[in-house]
Structure 1
Amino acid sequence: MLVWIDAVQCGRVPKIFGLTLVERHLQALKRSLPRPARIVVDLGADGQKPRIDSSLDEAFAIEWRQVPGDFSARLQRFLAETQGEAVLLLDGATLPDARLHASLTALAASVAVLAPKEDERAAMIRLDADRLPGLTIDAADLPSLATKLQAAGVVRPYQQEEFNGFIRKLRRTIPYYMFRVETADKAAKVEKFMFWSNYKGSTDFFTRYVYPPFVWISVGPLARARVHPNAVTIFSIILALGAIPIWAVGETWSFWTGFAMAYGMSVLDSVDGKLARLTFTDSRLGNFLDHGLDMVHPPFWYLSWAYGLGLATLGWGSTLGLATILVMAFYVIDRLILKVYPSFFQRAFHTHSKLDGRMRTFIARRNITLPMFIAGYVLGYAVEAFYLIVAWQILTAAYHGVRTFWILVIDRAHLKNRRPTDVAAALKQVD
């Protein structure tokens, strides 16, 4: 497949999270399979080549073309060079859902993808090789061409129903979107839309309602400075692990220092993922570090809290010691139970129904147990709060165990070809 990007407005169109729309197209194509054989970025007569990540030049052959002519003339010139290959036509002033690039490169049909909102005037076009001979371009821009080709029967409209909008990492289904971005005001609205679209469909109360303002003011500057999310993840690891020996000291100053580090880590745990997805910098290493930290650190936090409360003096045979053993054991059991459901459905447990999505809001997880413990510490009931966390962890594991048994053994949902319920909140549309 060949790709043509109309980039005459490159340099005048605002960036989105530090990336020009042309680079966003290229990054999305880099993640598409099969990758395009050649990409022509048409800058027009006086367009300027944008800064792009060096990995893009290594991913495929990119030709930066700077030639005069209107839209029709420049596109007609490109189509004359296709030599029997399918083409994908893109607009450098349009920000489409990055998943569309992969969908269209893998498609075997001539289609036009129009923005769900008609007033956006945004489009993508995929043309099979057999549609190119004799094709005359008579349009002012790509959206106009898409409308004309669709009316002439050269392409068919691409429907939301044929687009797989489920995102496993986010535990939600998001319909594809497309925006035309020509002003700073529109860019700001699109950035907010994309920010919220990168939140998980089922998550805890604090991640959904408390942390977002802090995450929002962090992601934008980091993206524009091109800070890699792995650097954010490494700093959050330092905070998460550094709090463990500090809490164990058991002094007032050490508890508050640990709490501050823990909340810093909790916010950064949202920042790195958003930053990675919004700037196309996600990686296997980043996922391993981020999810590995999420899995490993909570029981060590519980152990550290117990030592700070006097476990070293009371001993493992004390009520506090037995409670510590229980919370660490049931944390591991709970995690193992949650590995069962995805092996049957290839998606997370908490996407199965709205009930399971709601339960994810307050089950025993770091962002719930941490404020529980802090509240108890402030009120002078730190030990009692610790016991409550132990009970909450046991109840959480019990719920997951019973619910998994019901779904797989009693209801046998995995044998009924039943699609789990999407639990995502509705996206806010761009005005």
Structure 2
Amino acid sequence: MQKTTYILIIGGNRTTIWGLDGHERLERMIQSIKNVKLTEKTDDIPDNAPLLILNAHYLFDSRVLTALIALKDPMVLYSHDNQPAAVRTFGGQASHLLGVLVKPKNQRPEHILSGLPRYTLSELNIDFQQNLKKKDPPYILPITEDNRKRLEKELFSGSYKGVTDLVTKWLWPLPAFWCTHLCVRKGWKPNHVTLLSAVLALLAGIAFWYGFFAIGLIMGWMMTFLDTVDGKLARVTVTSSKFGDVLDHGLDIIHPPLWYLAWGIGLAGTLTPIGNLDLLIWLMFFGYIGGRLCEGAFQLWLAPFDMFIWRKADSFNRLITARRNPNLILLTYGWIIERPDVGLLLVVAWHLLSTAILLGRLIAGWRIWRQQGKLRSWLQDIDPARDRNILAVKIFTRAPIDPKRLQPAKF
């Protein structure tokens, strides 16, 4: 049975990153981690209990916290500017080490810390992020007012999926950044944004049903934009909730095929009604569900990661595969050329083609799995800094921030 790790936060300043200072951010991040207990007093920590001391002058990657908690032996994690950002020890040493860590560097008896193994980020062995389909280098970055704008951009960029559709990757980031800032200033929560996007999804479907395609497309695009904002707002402010996660992902899965169904029904009252609508809708649902089943089967049976990060070609396919945003482009095209029926036909055809491609990739993965017994994601074999000359690395990963360009933390 894993022991409870006690966590003590020290230091910090008034600089806020996305509305949170370093201490508040660490507290929120710790709440989602199992087998930890946040404490403010060393007297509350049993002598033999694992203790992690975190320096709130630094912005921590959540993966770094998870790795530090998973360690079993005492150590000191140093930042790029040679400052102790985290110390892992036992409760019996808490008071002794705390007296050292709270002192300015020029007054700190370094020989006491030198008795502990010295770690850097490279020694924590942190892998790619399956949930965000990307590989970004882990970080601990100094929080100062001079660094605030860079750190906010870094956190926001880090909240994006590396492998996603072309609209989310290239069209939404800049407006989503400013909209997320607006939400933080106004105190709006991610669930507020998700609920608004749900309302827009419903209204867009109603507009499509009655043939008001232009109004429906406007609300549909607004919904997809807010669907980007709510996730980014949750991640940069560390305010994710189970309700919001279920609502967001449930909405993403349910509403797209209902939009296409409503679009088809709406065509009946236009100058371009479509024949064999029942057959087209059944084909659309077949393609939509089939594609999802291929993705699920790949991750359930063949690999512990998403199909779209298996090979570079799969990641490029994710940019345009038959998901909501690429299909919304097709519907918009049909409306622009005044042939909404063509828009629906393109959506159905694209679903079937995309599902055929995914089925082919599932079969290819199964064959390799049978031969080798294990699949690897291409993200596991690249370095985002070293391999910037590779096109896929440029598109699907971010160049790591250079800590040396940041103002050092002020204690």
For Structure 1 versus Structure 2, the TM-score category normalised by the shorter chain is 0.7 to 0.9
1:259 maps to a residue whose letter is L
Q: 1:199 aligns with which of 160, 167, 170?
A: 160
Q: 1:425 aligns with which of 392, 397, 405?
A: 397
CA contact (8 A) 1:137 1:145 kept: no
* C-alpha displacement of 1:139: 6.3
Q: 1:246 aligns with which of 194, 201, 207?
A: 207
1:291 equivalent in structure 2: 249
- Note if 1:180 corresponds to 2:142: yes
2:85 maps to a residue whose letter is A
Task: Kindly tell me the number of residue pairs found equivalent between the two proteins.
Answer: 383
Q: Structure 1, residues 190-227: CA drift from partner, whole Å, max 9, x if none?
A: 01011011111210000000011221111122234432
1:174 maps to a residue whose letter is D
d(CA) in 1 for partners of 2:10, 2:152: 22
2:386 equivalent in structure 1: none
SS of 1:17's equivalent?
A: coil
Identity of aligned residues (%): 27
Q: Structure 1, residues 347-395: CA drift from partner, whole Å, max 9, x if none?
A: 2111111111110001111111112211221122322232122111111
- Note if 1:366 corresponds to 2:324: yes
Q: In structure 2, do the counterparts of structure 1 residues 208 and 373 end up closer, same or farther at CA, with 3 Å as the change threshold?
A: same
Moved more, 341-350 or 417-426: 417-426
* C-alpha displacement of 1:414: 8.5
2:16 equivalent in structure 1: 15
- Note if 1:89 corresponds to 2:93: no
- Note if 1:393 corresponds to 2:351: yes
* C-alpha displacement of 1:402: 0.8
Q: In structure 2, do the counterparts of structure 1 residues 28 and 170 end up closer, same or farther at CA, with 3 Å as the change threshold?
A: same
Q: Structure 1, residues 311-358: CA drift from partner, whole Å, max 9, x if none?
A: 899998x24443232112211111122110111322211111111111
1:341 equivalent in structure 2: 298
CA contact (8 A) 2:76 2:116 kept: no
SS of 1:4's equivalent?
A: strand
- Note if 1:39 corresponds to 2:74: no
Instruction: Mark the runs of 5 or more structure 2 residues left unpaired by the alignment.
Output: 380-392, 406-411
* C-alpha displacement of 1:14: 1.2
Q: Structure 1, residues 117-176: CA drift from partner, whole Å, max 9, x if none?
A: x24856111124576797695567587899946973422314435333432320123332
Q: In structure 2, do the counterparts of structure 1 residues 167 and 86 end up closer, same or farther at CA, with 3 Å as the change threshold?
A: same
d(CA) in 2 for partners of 1:126, 1:181: 21
SS of 1:193's equivalent?
A: helix
**1:200-349 matched pairs, under 5 angstroms:** 200-250=161-211, 254-310=212-268, 318-344=275-301, 345-349=303-307
Q: CA RMSD in A?
A: 3.0
Greater RCO, CA 8 A, separation 6+: 2
Moved more, 376-385 or 353-362: 376-385
Q: In structure 2, do the counterparts of structure 1 residues 230 and 302 end up closer, same or farther at CA, with 3 Å as the change threshold?
A: same
CA contact (8 A) 2:272 2:341 kept: no
Q: In structure 2, do the counterparts of structure 1 residues 28 and 147 end up closer, same or farther at CA, with 3 Å as the change threshold?
A: farther
d(CA) in 2 for partners of 1:80, 1:310: 71
* C-alpha displacement of 1:31: 2.1
CA contact (8 A) 2:76 2:84 kept: no
d(CA) in 2 for partners of 1:370, 1:134: 61
Q: In structure 2, do the counterparts of structure 1 residues 203 and 257 end up closer, same or farther at CA, with 3 Å as the change threshold?
A: same
Q: In structure 2, do the counterparts of structure 1 residues 313 and 263 end up closer, same or farther at CA, with 3 Å as the change threshold?
A: closer
Q: In structure 2, do the counterparts of structure 1 residues 95 and 124 end up closer, same or farther at CA, with 3 Å as the change threshold?
A: same
CA contact (8 A) 1:113 1:157 kept: yes
Moved more, 162-171 or 330-339: 162-171
Q: Structure 1, residues 238-266: CA drift from partner, whole Å, max 9, x if none?
A: 1112111211222xxx2121111101110
- Note if 1:108 corresponds to 2:72: yes
d(CA) in 2 for partners of 1:33, 1:142: 33
TM-score (norm: length of structure 2): 0.83
Instruction: Mark the runs of 5 or more structure 1 residues left unpaired by the alignment.
Output: 41-62, 64-77
d(CA) in 2 for partners of 1:365, 1:133: 55
Moved more, 321-330 or 141-150: 141-150
* C-alpha displacement of 1:405: 0.7
